[in-house]
Structure 1
Amino acid sequence: MAYPNQLCLVLVIFLSIISLSSLPTSAIISKANVSLPIHLSQLVENLCNGKAIQHRRFCLKAVSTPEVITALDTTQLGTLIIKLGAANAKATLNALKALNCCVEAYRYAILSFEMVSSEFVENPQTANYDVAVIGPKIANCEKELINVKVQAPRILAGNRFMKYYVSMGYEITSTLELENPNEY
């Protein structure tokens, strides 16, 4: 009676080994929760338990990369950490540049809408143009945010609403041009 159960157990173990061997090494390590090599574990523990470390969990996560696993000593570990910090700084700077692009687009939109309100009656054709050129500025803001993967739901919603206002402004100035073609 026990023979079929043992056969099933051996079969399950065999299939598990085969399925794990087909996965990339990183997937096996993360799924099996294999600890780091002894010398690296001690380096990491010493680092992440240091007095200056403000967030131990972040430290442990940051140094749990394939590149850091290959570090043989404190100097290599330090070099890799500094490179990770520089990469983070560059990514943040790119995000700030994208946000600055959006700041400029919205400053432009404010000035353009204010101009349009004074041009509205006097010159709908110029007002129409001034409204139309806001759209590409807002689209550029959106593109920059997407390119650097900035998660800014409020800005993206503002961009969507701005496109709506641009389309409404364009429509009303176009209508004014058509209603009074000879006046301008």
Structure 2
Amino acid sequence: MAPPNQLCLVLVIFLSVFSLSSLSTSTIIPKANVSLSIPSSQLVENLCIGKAIQNCRFCLKALSTPEVIVAIDTTELGTLIMKLGAANAKATLNALKALNCCVEAYKYAILSFEMVSSKLVEDPRTANYDVAVIGPEIANCEKELINAKVQAP
């Protein structure tokens, strides 16, 4: 027999999956009743105050978009939430790609500055060139951040 802690964990997972799966179906509450008796924003509120949601305030804020608020039933609400999640994940991935570009640019800048300090006395002309090529790398980083709409100093 499973220890009580494992049994509780399995029960919590089952209830979470069950409550989430009921959001994507209209078998519990028929669509006609939902659209007539519950305003669209009430669907979002009911979802966010559910036991499966850990941060109600964040849920309400995240789902207060015009597209989501006009959902007429739980199936449409679930579909819109998944589309919103996909869009947010894509934007985050684009931001991470831009930040990785910047990481590489700044690693290059660090190496270049270190090399320039040793070349400055020996060969000022080469040192000047090495410093000059750092600028475009950093400019590329800034361009990537702007294109990905990342707001970072």
TM-score by length of 1: 0.57
Per the alignment, residue 99 of structure 1 pairs with 99
Moved over 3 A (4+): none
Where structure 1 has 5 or more consecutive residues not aligned to the other structure, the ranges are 1-36, 154-184
Per the alignment, residue 62 of structure 2 pairs with 62
Report the number of matched residues. 117
CA distance in 1, matches of 2:145, 2:128: 27
Instruction: State the shift of 1:75 in Å.
Output: 1.5
**Greater Rg by CA:** 1
Where structure 2 has 5 or more consecutive residues not aligned to the other structure, the ranges are 1-36
Q: Tell me which moved more, 63-72 or 45-54.
A: 63-72
RMSD: 1.9
- Letter of the aligned partner of 1:145 in structure 2? L
Does 2:77 correspond to 1:77?
yes
Instruction: State the shift of 1:42 in Å.
Output: 4.0
CA distance in 2, matches of 1:41, 1:152: 33
Per the alignment, residue 147 of structure 2 pairs with 147
Which one scores higher on RCO, CA 8 angstroms, separation ≥ 6?
Answer: 2
TM-score by length of 2: 0.67
Instruction: State the shift of 1:39 in Å.
Output: 4.3
Instruction: State the shift of 1:71 in Å.
Output: 2.0
Q: Percent identity?
A: 85
The CA deviation string for residues 103-155 of structure 1, in whole angstroms up to 9 with x for no partner, is: 111100111112212222222221111110001111111222222232222xx
